[in-house]
């Protein structure tokens, strides 16, 4: 099982790497720097398939555009190198919609939705799909979401991708009105999912909640706590990913 894990920033990538026993090895591909980790007994980076878990970790940049470009470059490099990825995981910290996703909780996305990809109209926000373009939601494999949540104790729900961090109660309420099922907002999931979809690879998104979505209070973000939750989650997630087989477990 070959997995690409895309985070926004190096601190999130390193929190994922800390879940693995051996230090990560660095590799450079055109446009990206990858850190490779593995469970003991896993094949090297040149092998693919449903065998033991091996992952490439990528600090893909902040926001959906940077994340899509970086993830797309990593996916293309792996394919051209003859060792395509079996799964892409977008991981990191995120804002939780109170009270459902409190600070310190973990969320596995059952929907990855671009919440601000559309047009403002006199009647309010209209998603691009209603304008006749593209997609605004990617759906991770249900069996993988179920198994990942069961193993980690995560909540499951929609994770919104935004290009602007919410900074007011009004905006938080508006997002929740449009997406009542949303638990988290973050900034990369939809971009990573678009890249994965372009390569025909399934996607998962995992977020550790560092702050409530609402009025801006950056000093109150519990980044260290959320990064520790992310490390703990990947310790439990890796064996699940190792045993999950995309070819016969798509539901």
Q: Is 18 in the site for ligand LNDFFVEH (CB under 6 A)?
A: no
Cβ neighbours for 10, distance < 8 A, ≥ 6 positions apart = 59
What DSSP letter does each residue of 41-82 carry, written as one string? T---TT--SSSS-EEEEEE--SSHHHHHHHHHHHHHHHHHTT
For ligand LNDFFVEH (CB under 6 A), the number of binding residues is 20
Quick one: 95 or 127, whose CB is closer to ligand LNDFFVEH? 95
Among 33, 223, 228, 240, binds ligand LNDFFVEH (CB under 6 A): 223
d(CA 169, CA 128): 25
Q: What spatial distance separates the first Cα and last Cα of the chain, rounded to whole Å?
A: 18
Question: Judged by CB under 6 A, which stretch of 8-16, 117-125, 127-135, 234-242 contacts ligand LNDFFVEH?
Answer: 8-16
Question: Judged by CB under 6 A, which stretch of 5-13, 40-48, 79-87, 113-121 contacts ligand LNDFFVEH?
Answer: 5-13
Q: Is 9 in the site for ligand LNDFFVEH (CB under 6 A)?
A: yes
Q: Give helix then strand counts, H and E, for the chain.
A: 6, 12
Token pair for residue 127?
């998603």
Question: Judged by CB under 6 A, which stretch of 76-84, 106-114, 142-150, 183-191 contacts ligand LNDFFVEH?
Answer: 183-191
Q: Which of 58, 127, 46, 121 has its CA nearest to residue 89?
A: 58
d(CA 55, CA 53): 7
Q: Is 64 in the site for ligand LNDFFVEH (CB under 6 A)?
A: no
Q: Is 205 in the site for ligand LNDFFVEH (CB under 6 A)?
A: no
Residues 20-49 that bind ligand LNDFFVEH (CB under 6 A): none
Q: What is the DSSP letter of 169?
A: H
Among 68, 117, 186, 237, binds ligand LNDFFVEH (CB under 6 A): 186
d(CA 138, CA 229): 25
Which chain residues interact with ligand LNDFFVEH by CB under 6 A? 8-9, 11-12, 62, 92-95, 162, 165-166, 185-188, 210-211, 213, 223
């Amino acid at each position: 099982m070959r997995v690409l894990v895309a985070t926004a920033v190096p601190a999130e990538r390193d929190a994922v790497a800390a879940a693995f026993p051996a230090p990560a090895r660095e590799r450079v591909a055109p446009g990206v720097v990858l850190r490779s980790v593995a469970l003991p007994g896993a094949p090297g980076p040149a092998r693919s398939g449903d065998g033991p878990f091996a992952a490439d970790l990528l600090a893909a940049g902040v926001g959906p555009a940077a994340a899509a470009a970086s993830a797309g470059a990593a996916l293309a490099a792996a394919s051209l190198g003859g060792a395509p990825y079996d799964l892409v995981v977008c991981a990191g910290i995120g804002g939780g919609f109170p009270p459902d996703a409190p600070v310190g909780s973990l969320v596995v996305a059952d929907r990855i939705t671009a919440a601000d990809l559309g047009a403002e109209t006199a009647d309010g926000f209209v998603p691009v799909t209603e304008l006749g373009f593209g997609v605004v939601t990617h759906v991770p494999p249900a069996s993988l979401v179920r198994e990942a949540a069961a193993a980690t104790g995560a909540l499951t729900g929609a994770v919104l991708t935004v290009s602007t961090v919410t900074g007011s109660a009004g905006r938080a309420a508006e997002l929740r009105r449009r997406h009542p099922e949303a638990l988290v907002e973050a900034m990369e999931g939809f971009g990573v999912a678009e890249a994965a979809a372009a390569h025909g690879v399934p996607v998962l998104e995992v977020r550790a909640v560092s702050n409530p979505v609402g009025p801006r209070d950056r000093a109150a973000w519990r980044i260290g706590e959320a990064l520790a939750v992310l490390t703990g989650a990947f310790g439990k997630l890796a064996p699940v990913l190792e045993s999950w087989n995309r070819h016969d477990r798509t539901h």
